[in-house]
Every structure is written in C-alpha cells, then in structure tokens.
Structure 1
C-alpha cells in the first residue's frame, strides 16, 4: 500500500455519522459505514439503558469491544472505550480507526489510502499539527478561536475571516449538510407582541438569557457583543432539560432540528442564529499533493451544505 493519509474524525454521534455517510457516497463503502454506525448506535442504546445486551456474555463491555474490533486487519473497524457523561460515568464503546484503500479513485495516487482516526476533539488535533485533514463541528471552532466582535457572525463562511492566523493554521473547507440551528426562543410573555423574535429584539432586551454553559462564547460570537449589552447569561441546572430551563427563564438560545420539543414547553421559535454543521478542516502547513487530492475527493459540488468557501 502507498501513502496513507490520516484524517481526524469524531468518535461518535451525528458528526461521525455524517462523515461516514459522505465516505459511503464518495468511495462506495456503504457496508463499512453502516457497520460502524449501527454498532455505535447499538452501544449508545446499551449505555443509555434503553436496550439490554443480547446475552450474558455480552453484558461485559470488554467482551463486546473484543468482538467488534479487528486489530489484525486495518481495513476493518477498530473501537475503543471512553467514559460516558451519563450518571455513573459508564464505559462506552466508541470509534477508534479504520483504513480505507483508494484503489482506482480518480486523481489520487496509486495505492493510496485514508485512515480515519477517532479523536475527542478533532479540531484541536489539527491545531497541534497531528493531522492535515479532519472533520469536526463548526461549533467547536467558534468556541475555541474566532474573534468576538460587536457585529454578529451568522454564516459558517465567515468563520475563516474571524480566525486570527497567529492562533491557528486550521481553516474550514466545506460543510457536510447535517445542519441543525442555534435558535432564539422565548415564552409568549417575553416575545415581542409586534415584530420578530430576532437579534434586533435581543439588542433592546435587558434581562436573563438561558444558554448551555459550553455555548457562551459561541452565542457571543453569533449574536455580537453589542447586542448583548444588558443581557445576563443563566444556565440550566444539572439534569434540567434545556427547553424547560429556557421556558422558566423566558428567553434562551438552543439547538433545534424541528422545534417540536421547544413548542411542547410553550416556547415560540425565533431567528435561526447560526447553522451548526459538521465541517471539513485542513491545516495548511501539513498539506501534501496526496492530501490535497484527498481533500478534493471529500469536497465537491454535490454537497448540500450551508457553507460555501472560496478555495
């Protein structure tokens, strides 16, 4: 086998599934993608307690890990264990690595391959020059490195312009289209009786705004620091459902897909402040001719994404 290009990917969840779906379509490996996705969904259900292991032997997480993982054949997926953040901190099986040959792929050197390598925070792995390419949530980049400015950041395209080159060489290349939105929401008592529930309303608002603690910097970036004058961040209590906490506060920002849970709590949906999407990242100093070819393979006009970045 020729050159193998390592690519940092999330270990679990929607972002990893989006990467696998992308590779299934571009490299015609649907069985591999389905195998990894179904295994991780099954293990998530066991960790959550919604299903039981299929046999007494499979109750042992180490037994299941050994059953799933292939250490002798790198083209078969390997898994590892992490502590889950649920009550009791149970061990959870997550993705570790797999190698995918690129034989016959146009414009890629002969005998090249890619190796997907699971990382808890792929963006940080690129920042420390461990990888040239990787996938991660656009949210993490906002949380880590974008400059906070008075004006809002409302598109993923604008991220690169707000990254200080002295902070990192990593840049966003494209998105994968698995879009959910950070949405402004409020109770009818707090929402404007006339006009829209949007940034303009928030700029006139004085009072508490309920958000997840990890999204504090993200909200500052996407709303703009000028808009937040007079706004005080409050956070859900441990174990409290986010939409319920926002309903108690009267106003908040949270990720929504359909918004049905928010409506169940009597909340009105306002402006979609920022699209959260899995993005392809590159670290320019680490690029080679082969990694550029792989980047082009992973990118493409067929992507239905909120993101369009000039190359």
Structure 2
C-alpha cells in the first residue's frame, strides 16, 4: 500500500455521523459507515440505559470492546473506551480508527488509503500539525482562534479571514451541511413588540443575556463586541436546562434544532445568528499531493452547506 493519509475525526455523535455519511457517498463505503454508526448508537443507548445490554455485559464492557475491534485487520473499525460526562461517569465505547483503501477512486493514487483516527478535539490535533486533514465543529474554531471584532460574524465562510496566521495554520475547507443554529430567543415580555427579535434589537438592548459558558467567545464573535455594549452574560446553574435558564433570564442564545423545547418554556425564537456545522479542515504545511487529492475528493458541489469557502 502507498501513502496513507490520516484524517482526524470526532469520536462520537452527530459530527462523526456527518463525516461517515460524507465518506459513504464519496468513497462508496455505505456498509462501513452504517456499521460504525449503528454500533455507536447502540453503545450510547446502553450507556444511557435506554436499551438493555446482554446479561452481565456492563460488567464486561471490555469484552464487548474486544468483540467490536478486529486489531489484525485495519480495514475493520476499532473502538476505544471513554468516560462519559454524565453523572457517575460511566464508560462508553467510542470510535478509534479504520483504514479505507482508495483503489479505483478517481483522482487519487491507486495504492493510497485514508485512515480515520478518532480524536476528542480534532481541531486541536491539526493545530499541533499531527494531521494534514480533519473534521470538527466550526464552533470550536470560533471558541479558540477567531479574532473578536466590533462587527458580527454571521457566516462560516468568513471564518478564515478572521484567523490570525500567527495563531494557527489550520483553515476551513468546506462544511458538511449538518446545520443547526445558534438562535436568539426571548420571553414575550422581553422580546420587542411588533419588531424582529434580531441583532438590531440587541444593539439597543441593555441587560442580561443567558448563554452556555463554553459559548462566550463564540457569542462575542458572532454578535460583534459593539452589539454587546451594555449586555452582561449570565449562565445556567449546574443541572439547569438551558432553555429554562433563558426563560428565567428573559433573553438568551442557544443551539436549536427544531426549537420545540424553547417553545415549551414559553420562549419566542428570533434570528438564527450562526450556523453550527461540521467542517473539513486542513493544515496547509502538512498537505502532500496525495492529501490534496483526498481533500478534493471530500470537497464537492453535491454538499448542501452554509459554507462556501474559496480555496
């Protein structure tokens, strides 16, 4: 086998499933993608207690892990154990690695392959030049390296222009279209009567804004520091549901899919401030000719994405 291109990917959840769906379509490996997705969904359900495992299986999680992994065959997926962040911190099986030969794939050397390698935070692995290519949430880039400016950032496509080259060589290539939104929401007594609940409302608003602590820098980048003059951040108490905390505060920003939970708490949904999407990343100095061919393969016009980055 020729050059193998390692690609950092999330270990679990919607971002990993989006990556697997992309690979299934571009590399024609739907069975492999389905196998990994179904395994991880089952293991998540076991950890959460929503399905029963085999008798005594919880005492033998390592046995299940050994059954899943075929360490003698790198083209079969391997898994590893991770401590779940829920109460009690149970062990959870997550994705580790798999190698996919690229024989017969247009534009890529016949003897090349890609190796997907699970990382808790793939973006950080690219920042340290461990990988030329990887996938991660656009949110993490905003939280770590995007420059804060008075003007708002409302498109993923504008992220690269706000990355200081002195901070990192990593750049966004494209999004995967698994879009959900950081959305402005408010109670009826705080929302503007007869006007839109949007950035223009925030420009004249003074008071508390409820957000998740991990999104503080992201919200500053998305709204712009000028808009946040007179606004103070408040955070949900530990164990308090985010939408409930926003209802207590009166105004907030949170990641929504359908908005149904927000409505159940009496909240009005306002402007979709910023798309949260899994993105393909590259570390420019590490991109070989083969990595560039793989990058081109994973990027394509068939994606329905909020992102349109010029490369």
Alpha-carbon separation, structure 1, partners of 2:213 and 2:49: 26
Cα distance in 2 for partners of 1:226, 1:123 equals 28
Pairwise mapping of residues 9-24 of structure 1 onto structure 2 (< 5 A)?
9-24=9-24
- Does residue 183 (structure 1) correspond to residue 183 (structure 2)? The answer is yes
Which residue number corresponds to residue 64 of structure 1?
64
What secondary structure does 1:297 align onto?
A: helix
For residues 60 and 223 of structure 2, what CA distance do their matches in structure 1 show? 46
Whether the 8 Å contact between 1:53 and 1:59 is mirrored in structure 2 is: no
Structure 1 equivalent of residue 147 of structure 2: 147
Per the alignment, residue 120 of structure 1 pairs with 120
In the TM superposition, what are the counterparts of 1:246-261 in structure 2 within 5 Å? 246-261=246-261
CA-CA distance at 1:51 after TM superposition? 1.5
Partner Cα separation in structure 1 for residue 151 and residue 43 of structure 2: 43
Name the SS for the 1:295 alignment partner: helix
SS in 2 for 1:8: strand
- 1:31-180 mapped onto 2 (5 Å cutoff): 31-57=31-57, 59-180=59-180
**Superposition deviation, residue 292 in structure 1:** 0.3
Equivalent residue number for residue 216 of structure 1? 216
Q: Which moved more, 1:192-201 or 1:136-145?
A: 192-201
2:207 aligns with 207
Do the aligned partners of 1:172 and 1:282 also contact (CA within 8 Å) in 2? yes
Show CA shifts across 1:226-251 (max 9, x none).
01111111111111111111111100
Task: Please state whether the residue corresponding to 1:117 is helix, strand or coil.
Answer: strand
Deviations for 1:130-182, whole angstroms, at most 9, x for unmatched residues? 00000000000000000000010000011000000000000000000000000
Q: Does 1:262 align with 2:262?
A: yes
Query: 2:309 maps to which residue?
Result: 309
Looking at structure 2, the residues matched to 184 and 67 of structure 1 have their Cα atoms a distance apart, in angstroms, of 45
Give the gaps of 5 or more residues in structure 2.
Answer: none
SS at 2:5 equivalent: strand
**Take 2:124 and 2:38, find their aligned partners in 1: how far apart are those partners?**
27
What whole-Å deviation, never above 9, does each CA across 1:38-96 have from its counterpart, x for those lacking one?
11111111111111213324652111111111111000000001111100111111000
User: Scaled by the length of structure 2, what TM-score is found?
Assistant: 0.99
- Deviating beyond 6 angstroms after TM superposition, the runs of 4 or more aligned structure 1 residues are none
Q: TM-score, structure 1 length as denominator?
A: 0.99
Alpha-carbon distance, 1:4 to partner: 0.4
* Residues in 2 aligned to 1:107 and 1:184: alpha-carbon distance in whole angstroms: 43
Instruction: Report how many residues are paired.
Output: 311
CA offset digits 1:95-142 (Å, max 9, x no partner): 000000001001101210000000000000000000000000000000
Distance (Å, rounded) in 1 between the aligned partners of 2:28 and 2:60: 34
CA RMSD of aligned residues (A): 0.8
- 8 Å contact from structure 1 (residues 175, 280) kept in 2: yes
**Equivalent-residue separation in structure 2 for 1:96 and 1:83 (angstroms):** 14
Q: Give the distance between the partners of 2:108 and 2:28, measured in 1 at CA.
A: 15
For the residue of structure 2 that corresponds to 1:14, the secondary structure is helix
